[in-house]
Amino acid sequence: MTAHERTTAPEGQAAPMLDVRDLRVSYRSGEQTVPAVRGVSFTLDRGQTLGIAGESGSGKSTMALSLLRLLPASAQVSGEVLFKGEDLLTAKWARLRAVRWSAASVVFQGAMSALNPVRTIGEQIREPILLHDKIGQRAARERAAELLDSVGVPSRRLESYPHEFSGGQRQRIMIAMALACRPDLIIADEPTTALDVMVQAQVLNLLGELVREAGIGVIMISHDLSVLSHMCERLAVMYAGRITEIGPSKQLIAEPRHPYTRALGRAFPTIGDPASRLAPAGLPGDPPTPSELARLSEGRGCAFAPRCSEAMDACRTDTVELWPSGPRREAACLRVLEGSGT
Amino acid sequence: MKPVLEVRDLTVTYPARRGAAPARAVDGVNLRVRQGEIVALVGESGCGKSTLARALVGLVKPTGGQVLSDGEPLGYSAAALKAYRRHTQLVLQDPGGALNPRQNVFDAVAEGPRLHGLTDRLDERVHTALAKAGLRPPEQFAGRFPHEMSGGQQQRVVIAGALALEPSVIVADEPVASLDASVRGEILKLILELRDSLGLSALVVSHDLGLAWNIADRVAVMYLGRIVETGTVEEVLLRPKHPYTRALLSVLPDSGEPPVLLTGEPPDPTSVPGGCRFHPRCPLRAAEQDPRCDGEDLPVLTGDPSASSLAACHLVQ
Amino acid sequence: MTAATYTSAAPKAPRRHAFSRFCRAYAKRPAGLAGLGLLIAFGALALAAPLFIGDDQLNVIKVDGPQLSPPVDGYPLGTDQAGRSILLLVIWGARESLSIGLIATALTVVLGSAVGLLAGHYQGWVGKILMHVTDWFIALPSLPLAISLSAVLGQGAASITIAIAVTSWTATARLVRAQTLAVEARPFIERAKVLGAGNTQIMIRHVLPNVMPLILVSSTLTVASAILSEATLTFLGLGDPTSVTWGSMLEAAFLGGAVTAGAWWYLMPPGIAILIVVLGFTLVGRAVEHVLNPRMVVGR
């Protein structure tokens, strides 16, 4: 843990804006407790972008939503989420509500279900502004129009209802809402998954620009490694509820140290790369099921070992944690510790 | 090589709904899939690619043109469709939804053979299909229910169900779109293997150009009901001619080019623009200002598989 | 591993597993267990009634108890104007009330499901005509229809059963049609079509098993309303005057002046019996609905 803090928090600086320490989430299902996030730590500063990649069931969405305590009551969360020095996991509800809109906001995956279908876009964008910024109706209206324009939706459409917009436009509106109270942190959970390639590129471009301009910290969750590597400076790959590799995006993609990162990177072929032509790359097997995960948590060993082509005997018995694997990089792989990882 | 599956001048128009004009989902398409060939049909949502796939398996009756199987036009009587379906099968996007939650794997795979009266040595047939689809040993999977399996395994069951009929062509509509990244490659590998071992032909519908690069021999790019560019994968993806194909390729994260973001209204099949249907959003037209773009209709691409690439554009002929 | 292993034995094992899972989940719902307990108690009493109730206790000529007496020794719920024990009458009445309720429900469910399934599957003119007929039956006022049906068919259990079925199948039909439409939109129907399945195969093999939980839930609730209808119709004098049911007891009490005489012990027991049975079926229906919640069954 100490090694980890040293590499992620730059020395001699003030505490980072967001400091997540040993975050764990488990769900109770019947008599069984099923772990979803099994000890995640990272830091994020203002203006930084962190991408979190992983497959379904890797715990990436659960992890992100738990930061603002947006999980159902059946989830048990432990660890620390220090946001500007304040632990959000123990903060009072009133305080948390204030943080949720004004300081940290979320862009959800399905824009249609996250927008209220019977209220106009304008009302929905104004609501948090009126609640938190304590400004008049008129000023709020102006700010909403400004926001809508900034995400590329004509502001004359403020009085339209969600169903009158296309999927891409709705996702833009969600971004406008997230920006409404000038937050310091945006958590974007698969913001473009349901969108077409072209629209996805537009939305990502927009998000990137707005974030750079305003110096907002972003945590972006996606299953698509190539999208993340272009949007985010740093990348964390999650598998079975843990971070398996974290570091600067470009390096992580170019020289992955963890076999899982390598496999994930190959799953998205680069057009023109002869190695992937008529040779799709996958990974045999499936991620651990919740009950397998519950068993894994009790014992030792690397959760990825059953699917890993480079697994050694030690991988099934030794405790695996994040070890430094290069400048500002860490990987949870015994091969890295050996120094023989490629 | 003669085409095992072909469409000629196919159109599918959905009748008008409350006030809107009729939707021309597929608006003149020629396409051929030859023996042992994998063709990728790519396009954005709403371009008509899924409707075309459904027309190919006889789920949607075309309003014009023909679907030909081994050179014979497809009939739409119940008996003709049933006979056709022994040799053309469909694999759907969402394997979880494509399997009846109350049927176990054996029954799901045995369904096709049972419907076609192939119950002689049914057990062997089902096990062979499961093994071909990579579910080995088949005995271990036969009794399971869909919810007890992962998405990748479910998709293998769907594929096994199609293989149990020993088809010669498979039409796959976004076969990996709902699967995880690591599983995606495994399913694509399976489709390639089936082509190599069984000589299966496939038409794979997808929004993903990387998929075409991974498995297809030829690719057809669809925009607003028409194929705008078609040819070998190398030609189309490495040396794209049509401005739409170029734009699609440029927005990929690894393209290495500045992204060309298309503006304007998203394509709407209820109001197809005159002239070139891409002209309102075309970056090339904006630069060249050629009067043919919005004035002159383009001919339907012939879909001739021997040509290395064809593009429906006034400016790149 | 022979053919028999998978086609017969293998599918059954998980199904049995599913049933035991259903039972375990049901056992966690106290209200459902209470409802089930009530129903079992009533059912057992009704089935066993002939063992301890003879003709001499029901025949108005043979009984020798006090007339219209409040609860006394030997007659814990009092007697009617002929001197019969109210307690025994209520128990005996359960036989016909329950059987009319169950048979009417069976008819309702079969007719309603068949119409709903057909109307949902054939969305062309067949479906339209079926739904028009259903709408027409919904528009018919149920009570007058039942009264005129009984008039045509003659008084008695059979005509009451038919009258209840004719007036209540429409609700089931609408419900099943809506669910059929939802199931038909799922991708596995498309897959079955491409595999070569015809209309019958799709309806029987794919739609019906997925609509079944809903039919099951709705039928438990239909039983409750059928028993109420039975009581209403018999109370109005459309039942067989010689047989004892809860409705006919209420009718007899009303006509015999139990209300003016303040004979609460005559009016209350059949009313409470109806209430308990209806409550029992409702509780069971709700518990089954919770356990079979399609989101739990279909979801992953």
- C17: in domain: no
| Structural domain contains residue A283 | no
The per-residue pLDDT for range A137-157, each reduced to its tens digit, is 888 898 899 888 888 888 888
Gap from B215 CA to chain A (nearest CA, Å): 5
pLDDT value at residue A200:
79
CA proximity to A334, closest of A290, A301, A288:
A301
For the ranges A51-55, A336-340, B145-149, the lowest mean pLDDT is seen at A336-340
Does residue C63 lie within any of the structural domains? Answer: no
C137 contacts C287 by C-beta, under 8 angstroms: no
Predicted local confidence at residue C12, as pLDDT: 42
Region A57-66: mean pLDDT is 89
Residue to test with chain A: of B254, B262, B263, most A Cβ within 10 A? B254
The answer to whether the beta carbons of residues B316 and B300 sit under 8 Å apart is no
Task: Decide if A281 is inside a domain.
Answer: no
What is the C-alpha separation between A324 and B1, in angstroms, rounded? Answer: 56
User: Is residue A155 a contact partner of residue A145, using CB atoms and an 8 Å limit?
Assistant: yes
Mean pLDDT of C25-53: 89
Q: Any idea what the CATH number is for the domain that residue C175 is in?
A: 1.10.3720.10
Output the domain CATH number for residue A27. Answer: 3.40.50.300
What is the tally of structural domains in chain A?
1
Per-residue pLDDT band at A10 (split at 50, 70, 90): very low
Q: What is the DSSP letter of A164?
A: G
Domain boundaries, chain B: 3-87+167-311
Angstrom distances, CA of residue C143 to CA of A154, A336, C94, C169: 59, 81, 23, 14
pLDDT band at C1 (very low <50, low <70, confident <90, very high): very low
A243 confidence band (pLDDT: 50, 70, 90): very high
pLDDT band at residue B265, thresholds of 50, 70 and 90?
low
Tell me the residues of chain A between 37 and 76 that have a Cβ less than 8 Å away from chain B: 55-56
* Nearest-angstrom CA–CA distance, C257 and A338: 98
Residue A66: inside a domain: yes
**pLDDT reported for residue B297:** 85
3-state secondary structure of A73: coil
C-alpha to C-alpha distance for C81 and A247, rounded to whole angstroms: 92
Interface of C with B in 243-282 (CB under 8 A): none
Q: What is the pLDDT of residue A11?
A: 47
Give me the pLDDT at residue A111, please. Answer: 60
pLDDT band (50, 70, 90) for residue C10: very low
pLDDT for B150 equals 86
pLDDT in tens, B136-194: 889 989 988 888 888 889 999 999 999 999 999 999 999 988 888 888 889 999 999 99
Does residue C10 form part of some domain?
A: no
C17 Cβ contact list (under 8 Å, min separation 6): none
Most confident of A166-175, A180-189, A235-244, C232-241: A235-244
Cis bond upstream, residue B137 (ω within 30):
yes
- pLDDT category at B51 given cuts 50, 70, 90 is very high
Around C273, how many Cα atoms within 13 Å sit in the side-chain half-sphere? Answer: 32
- The answer as to whether A55 is a domain residue is yes
Strand order in the sheet with A49-53: A104-107, A185-189, A217-222, A49-53, A234-239, A242-248, A329-331, A323-326
Determine, yes or no, domain membership for C40. Answer: no
Kindly report which listed range (A242-256, B191-205, C73-87, C94-108) carries the lowest average pLDDT score: C73-87
Q: Which of B90, B106, B116 minimises the CB distance to C11?
A: B106
Residue A284: inside a domain: no
Q: How many domains does chain C have?
A: 1
- pLDDT band with cut points at 50, 70 and 90 for residue C17: low
Asked if residue A282 is part of any domain, the answer here is no
Residue A9's pLDDT band (cuts 50, 70, 90): very low
Instruction: Answer yes or no: is C22 within a domain.
Output: no
* 3-state secondary structure (DSSP) of residue C72: strand
In a domain, A137, yes or no: yes
Q: B3-87+167-311: which CATH topology? A: Rossmann fold (3.40.50)
What is the three-class DSSP state of B23?
strand
Q: What is the structure's pLDDT at A342?
A: 43
Question: In this predicted structure, what is the pLDDT of residue C300?
Answer: 30
Global pTM reads 0.81
Task: List, for residues B185-229, the tens digit of each pLDDT value.
Answer: 899 999 999 999 999 999 999 988 989 999 999 999 999 999 999
Q: Is C7 on the interface with B (CB under 8 A)?
A: yes
Q: Which of C167, C160, C161 is nearest to C112 (CA)?
A: C167
- Residue A219 above 90 pLDDT? yes
For residues C216 and A221, the model is more confident at A221
Mean pLDDT, residues B81-87 taken together: 90
- Answer whether C210 touches B (CB < 8 Å): yes
pLDDT of A13 reads: 58
Q: Which residues of A touch B259 (CB under 8 A)?
A: 201, 205
pLDDT reported for residue A51: 93
Could you list the residue range(s) of the whole structural domain that residue A212 is in?
2-270+289-338
Task: For residue A2, give the DSSP letter.
Answer: H
Confidence at residue C16, expressed as pLDDT on a 0 to 100 scale: 61
The pLDDT of residue B196 is: 93
Q: Using the beta-carbon criterion (under 8 Å), do B143 and C14 form an inter-chain contact?
A: yes
Predicted confidence band of residue A110 (pLDDT cuts 50, 70, 90): low
**Residue B246 pLDDT class (50, 70, 90 cuts):** very high
Q: Is a pLDDT exceeding 90 seen at residue B39?
A: yes
